[in-house]
Amino acid sequence: MNITNRRRTARREKRFCAPPAFTLIELLVVIAIIAILASMLLPVLSRAKETGRRIACVNNLRQLNLALRMYVDDSQGLFPPRSDTNRWPSHLYDDGSRNMNILLCPTDIALLSDPATVGSSPSNNVADASPRSYFINGWNDYFQSSSDPQGLNLGDSMKGNAIVYPSDTIVLGEKRHDAGDFYMDLLENSGNDFTGIAEQGRHSNNGATSNQSKGTGSSGGSNYAMADGSARFIKFPQSVDPLSLWAVTDASRAAYAIIY
C-alpha cells in the first residue's frame, strides 16, 4: 500500500470513530455548577419579586391617602369618624376609591389567602367587608381623657390641623395578615395593635413574609401613608423607634415608642 492509500484509509477510520463521551465525574461537575448558579439566582429573583410587590403596595397607599385627603377637604378638615357601622373603607369608597384591589397589598395576595378583617359591615358596604391589608390610625393619644381613657373616640373625628408633624405622622399603615382590626390603637387594652405593628417587617429582603417575629424584621420594613398626603416605605423598626409615628402628641410619641 502506497503512502496515498494509507492516508486515505486513516482518514476514513478517523471519520468513523465515535467521539469521546462525558465521563461521570464531568457530568457531576456540570450538575454541581448548575446547582450553585441556581442557588445564587433564586434569592435574587425572590427579592426582585418582593421589591415589585412593595412598590405596588406603596402605590395602593398613595391612592388611599389621596382619597382620604379628598374626604378631609370635603369634611371641613376632619378625618372619618370612628364607627362600628360605617368604617373608614366605606367613607373612602364613597369618596371615589371604588377599586377594592387597592385595599390589598400584593404581598398578602402572594400568600394565597385573604388577609383577615373583623366581622362584616352592618351598612352592607362592600368596602368594609372586603379583605384589607391596611388599617387607619385610631388617634387614641389625641382623644384620651378621663372620660375616655382608651381614646376610642367613638363617633368623633380627628382634626387634621391638630397633627403637629404631618410628614412624620402615620394615618394608614400595613397590618399583620392575620389581624382583622380596622384601627391601629395605642391605648385600647394596653395597645392591642401596637405590638403587631412593631414586630412587623413585612417586606423582607428575603422575600414575602406575612409577619416577622420581634427582632427578625431588621432586613425589611412596611409601607405607610403619612398625614401630609405622602406614602413611603419605612425600614423596621423606624416607625416606632426612637419615636412612635402613630402618636400625635410629643409626650405620646416618646411614651409609646419601642426601643430596639
Number of structural domains the chain divides into: 1
Position 155 in a domain: yes
User: Which of 13-17, 80-84, 147-151, 186-190 comes out lowest in average pLDDT?
Assistant: 13-17
**DSSP track, 62-78:** HHHHHHHHHHHHHTTTB
**DSSP track, 24-82:** HHHHHHHHHHHHHHHHHHHHHHHHHHHHHHHHHHHHHHHHHHHHHHHHHHHTTTBPPPB
Half-sphere exposure of 219 (CA within 13 A, CB side): 13
Position 1 in a domain: no
Instruction: Give the whole-number percent of the chain exceeding pLDDT 90.
Output: 35
Give me the pLDDT at residue 101, please.
87
pLDDT at 4 over 90: no
Position 112 in a domain: yes
Position 45 in a domain: yes
pLDDT at 105 over 70: yes
Any idea which residue has 404631618 for its cell? 166
pTM of the model: 0.79
Position 87 in a domain: yes
Chain segment 139-169, per-residue pLDDT in tens:
999 999 878 888 888 888 999 999 999 999 9
Domain residues for the domain of 48 are 22-255
Give me the pLDDT at residue 46, please.
72
* C-alpha 28: how far from chain center: 42
Position 8 in a domain: no
Q: In the structure grid, which three cell numbers stand for residue 69, read together?
A: 385627603
Position 225 in a domain: yes
Give me the pLDDT at residue 201, please.
67
Position 53 in a domain: yes
